[in-house]
Copies of this chain bind each other. A is one copy, B any other.
Amino acid sequence: MDVKERVKQYIQGHRREATALLKSLIQQQSVRGNEGKAQALVVEKCRQLGLEIDLWDIDEDHTLTTHPAFYSDRTDFGGNPNLVAILKGSGGGKSLLLNGHIDVVPEGNEHDWHHHPFSGFEKGNRIYGRGSTDMKGGNVSLLLALEALIKLEVKLKGDVIFQSVIEEESGGAGTLATVLRGYHADGAIIPEPTSMKLFPHQQGSIWFRLLIRGKSAHGGTRYEGVSSLELAILVVEKIKELEIKRNEKLKQEPLYKGVPIPVPINIGICKTGNWPSSVPDLTILEGRLGVSPYEEIEAAMEDMELVINDLNNMNEWFQLKPIELEWFGARWLPGRIELEHPLLKTLQNNYFHVEQKQPIIEASPWGTDGGILSNIGNIPVVVFGPGITEKAHDSNEYIEMNDVLKVAEVIACTIIDWCETQKEDFQYRKE
């Protein structure tokens, strides 16, 4: 049996252990500021595998917080470290970085969950819980792939650099810290929940806030005021027009065929007024501007700024009280490798090898830490993972264990091809 078959068998044979690891990772709820305990489980696993461990609090080094790509409103990272664990190759092969985040978004309204969001409830093939799909399942795929290679004593030439980072959900400070600490590789895979699609291109995004000012009045004489909500509806319409304009050409791109809105502009928050009987004089809209993999984030920002400037210049009311546009909070850089890139090809081949069908190759509808790895770290990135895209951040988030194992197989086989094996591995002949 060749090495890849043995690796696949090993992975399928350790479903129970992988499930147990995933459940205990979910049970250590790792929302922002509380990543330490879940991270400790990952560290323990890496020690058992004999990996070289680098564990550090990311704010130790002031180069992080002053870096232009640093976005975080968090001030204390102590006790919730980043982890890098290395499987050292013998040299001569290409290195591969495997990056997963340990932080999860908050569980939302607990009443919307059928089971406790941090129970790790198992039902058939599914494991439920916040972080199951985004992205502790993917992390388990990585660890299981490494375990298979190590236990089967597959001797790699290139290094495999496993990273378990914090702060992905709030802008990537954890992964930025790995880059600034000097970690680099010839390629990277991030097993975010792609529903097992390959994402060589990744949408970036940036948050905006719009302050739209009206004029207050009593509701009984509302014609004496100017409703900031009605003004906001105008602005929303203009933003929709911009979204159409920004997506027209993009829909022709091969990776966006059939995607209704490749880079959406989402308005997620609207806050207006404080008294039912008063004409509201301030509306705050907050949203997410999708950034195409084929543009700089600054170009997308300029598109939005032009729309707001036009409104401020053309509309009589806004001439008087201009809309204010702020960029705030997190931003995720877009990322892209060419479709002929050998990393993508290697993943494609091994996907076919495992699944016996061609993978779906798309552009991701969201940013990942891949933006930082590629833009700041100059590392080619493919995002590919077992989680279910739609379930990320949702209540009753779950993952299919079958997918966790399959992705582990694809990644383990990809490592073998990418990092290359030493000759003595030829001992694994077909039996």
Query: Judging by beta carbons under 8 Å apart, are B217 and A390 in contact?
Result: yes
A276 is an interface residue with CB less than 8 A from chain B: yes
A207 is an interface residue with CB less than 8 A from chain B: yes
Number of residues of chain A lying within 8 A (CB) of chain B? 51
Asked whether A269 and B264 contact (CB < 8 A) given A218-B366, A229-B236, A236-B233, the answer is no
In angstroms, Cα B393 to Cα A367, docked, is 46
Taking the nearest CB of chain B, how far is it from the CB of A11, in angstroms?
Answer: 29
* Per-residue contact bits, chain A 218-231, to B (CB 8 Å; 1 contact, 0 not): 11111110010110
Query: Judging by beta carbons under 8 Å apart, are A264 and B219 in contact?
Result: yes
Taking the nearest CB of chain B, how far is it from the CB of A111, in angstroms?
Answer: 14
A427 is an interface residue with CB less than 8 A from chain B: no
Residues of B within 8 A of A236 (CB): 229-230, 233
* Chain A interface, >50% SS class: mixed
A271 is an interface residue with CB less than 8 A from chain B: yes
Taking the nearest CB of chain B, how far is it from the CB of A383, in angstroms?
Answer: 12
Residues of B within 8 A of A91 (CB): none
A147 is an interface residue with CB less than 8 A from chain B: no
Query: Judging by beta carbons under 8 Å apart, are A280 and B276 in contact?
Result: no
A288 is an interface residue with CB less than 8 A from chain B: yes
A273 is an interface residue with CB less than 8 A from chain B: yes
Query: Judging by beta carbons under 8 Å apart, are B277 and A205 in contact?
Result: yes
In angstroms, Cα B275 to Cα A280, docked, is 22
Query: Judging by beta carbons under 8 Å apart, are B287 and A266 in contact?
Result: no
Taking the nearest CB of chain B, how far is it from the CB of A204, in angstroms?
Answer: 10
In angstroms, Cα B227 to Cα A290, docked, is 16
Q: Specify the chain B residue showing the minimal Cβ separation from A134.
A: B218
Q: Specify the chain B residue showing the minimal Cβ separation from A389.
A: B221
Query: Judging by beta carbons under 8 Å apart, are A290 and B219 in contact?
Result: yes
Asked whether A276 and B271 contact (CB < 8 A) given A216-B394, A290-B219, the answer is no
* Per-residue contact bits, chain A 378-403, to B (CB 8 Å; 1 contact, 0 not): 00000000000110111000000000
Q: Specify the chain B residue showing the minimal Cβ separation from A283.
A: B270
Residues of B within 8 A of A393 (CB): 218, 278
A279 is an interface residue with CB less than 8 A from chain B: yes
Taking the nearest CB of chain B, how far is it from the CB of A385, in angstroms?
Answer: 15
Q: Specify the chain B residue showing the minimal Cβ separation from A365.
A: B220
Asked whether A266 and B290 contact (CB < 8 A) given A261-B223, A365-B221, the answer is no
Query: Judging by beta carbons under 8 Å apart, are A276 and B270 in contact?
Result: no
Query: Judging by beta carbons under 8 Å apart, are A219 and B271 in contact?
Result: no
Asked whether A271 and B268 contact (CB < 8 A) given A221-B389, A229-B236, A261-B222, the answer is no
Residues of B within 8 A of A222 (CB): 261, 264, 266
Contact of A219 among B217, B224, B230, B266 (CB under 8 A): B266
A132 is an interface residue with CB less than 8 A from chain B: no
Max chain B CB contacts within 10 Å: which of A218, A274, A365?
A218
Query: Judging by beta carbons under 8 Å apart, are A273 and B278 in contact?
Result: no
Taking the nearest CB of chain B, how far is it from the CB of A138, in angstroms?
Answer: 16
Residues of B within 8 A of A261 (CB): 222-223
Taking the nearest CB of chain B, how far is it from the CB of A136, in angstroms?
Answer: 18
In angstroms, Cα B366 to Cα A277, docked, is 10
In angstroms, Cα B22 to Cα A235, docked, is 45
Residues of B within 8 A of A260 (CB): 223
Query: Judging by beta carbons under 8 Å apart, are A266 and B279 in contact?
Result: yes
In angstroms, Cα B220 to Cα A288, docked, is 8
A-B contact pairs, 23 of them (CB 8 A): A205-B220, A207-B276, A207-B277, A218-B365, A218-B389, A218-B392, A219-B366, A220-B264, A220-B366, A221-B366, A227-B266, A227-B267, A230-B236, A266-B279, A267-B280, A268-B279, A269-B272, A270-B273, A273-B286, A276-B286, A276-B287, A276-B288, A278-B393
For the complex of A and B, 9 pairs with smallest distance between CB atoms: A219-B266, A220-B365, A220-B366, A270-B272, A219-B288, A223-B260, A268-B276, A277-B288, A269-B273
Can you add 13 more A-B contacts, CB < 8 Å, to A219-B264, A267-B280? Answer: A208-B276, A219-B266, A219-B268, A222-B266, A229-B236, A266-B277, A268-B274, A268-B278, A268-B279, A269-B274, A269-B280, A276-B329, A277-B366
